[in-house]
Structure 1
């Protein structure tokens, strides 16, 4: 649980009293490869913190899965547009590897906000970070070429190339696998 404490401490001070509150409200959960954290149409009821493993965010459009984000160790996982208002999700999140997380329910997170010193501030800062990342991803999709998006993905997550099937990376970049192969070939020549 030390990694979770450290991640929260990035946003607000975490003393022994805060550690006790956090430990009492988060629970450890294991996901097998392919197991959903969240399914489209269901309300997102948890926020997770990945200790080990990898998750994929995707939506299904006309029967085709479109990957748009990956989360790995020491990152928070949730679909905030479903979680915050407690409405059905338009997206799915699944484990790409066997994954270990600490999860917290909507009710427990609200209790954390109200009982932990600086709890509300922590929640606001984390949501702000998620919001900025979402805007950057959206802007990139409209202003960058697929090659630029691929380079940004590799820069942000250099270790993921070996952990994620190429067709998921291609989907995230917004191209077909054959196009990703051409992009990779062009980049290897430079």
Structure 2
């Protein structure tokens, strides 16, 4: 819970009363490696904070999985496109490791906004960060070559490359695993 409190404190100031409210609104849950925090077709009912572990976001597209995002310790996880209107999700969110989270429901986040000092500001800042990340990703898909997408992956997820299977990294970059191997060899040789 301390990592969650620190993440919130990094965005807004919180009092002891606010911390008590936060501790009552967020609930601990564990997911085993391979388990889904959210499956396509379900409604995203929680905003999730990762205490420990790693997850990936992916879409099923014509019998292939397209990985488009990763989250790790100290980060929030949510399919806001499903969560905000409470409609079915197109996204799958899967634990890549045993993952311990704290999660808050849709009703709980509304209570957080009302009762925590600067709670609404926290929500606005969080959504702004999500928007920037999504737009950066979309632009990259349309403008970057696979080599550049791989370099951006390394820059954005520098500490995760050894924790993520190569076929998920290849999917994120938008290539097949053999192509990723060629990209890695080419970049390592400086060509």
Name the TM-score class by shorter chain.
over 0.9
| Structure-2 separation of matches of 1:75 and 1:48 | 8
Return the alpha-carbon distance in structure 1 between the equivalents of residues 141 and 63 of structure 2.
21
The corresponding residue for 2:115 is 115
CA distance in 1, matches of 2:66, 2:145: 17
Deviation at 1:63, TM superposition (A): 1.3
5+ residue gaps, structure 1: none
For 2:133, the equivalent position in structure 1 comes to: 133
User: Tell me, which stretches of 5 or more residues in structure 2 are unaligned?
Assistant: none
Residue in structure 2 matched with residue 154 of structure 1 by the alignment: 154
**Structure 1 match to 2:171:** 171
Find the counterpart in structure 1 of residue 25 from structure 2: 25
C-alpha deviation, 1:6, in angstroms: 1.0
Counterpart in the other structure of 2:14:
14
CA deviation vs aligned residue, 1:83-102 (integer Å, no higher than 9, x gap): 01100001110100000011
Q: Please report how far the alpha carbon of residue 32 of structure 1 lies from its aligned counterpart in structure 2 after TM superposition.
A: 0.1
What is aligned with 2:70? 70
Match of 2:44 in 1: 44
What do residues 16-69 of structure 1 show as CA deviations (whole Å, max 9, x unaligned)? 111101000001110000111000000000011111100010000111111000
Mapped partners of 2:106, 2:34: distance in 1: 24
The Cα of 1:163 is off from its aligned counterpart by: 0.6
Structure 2 residue 147 is matched with structure 1 residue 142: no
In structure 1, the partner of 2:59 is: 59
Q: Deviations over 1:120-161 (max 9, x none)?
A: 111011001101110001111111111111101111111211
Contact 2:68 2:172 in 1 (8 A): yes
Identify the residue that residue 83 of structure 1 maps to in structure 2. 83
Identify the residue that residue 181 of structure 1 maps to in structure 2.
181
TM-score by length of 1: 0.98
What residue number does 2:106 align with? Answer: 106
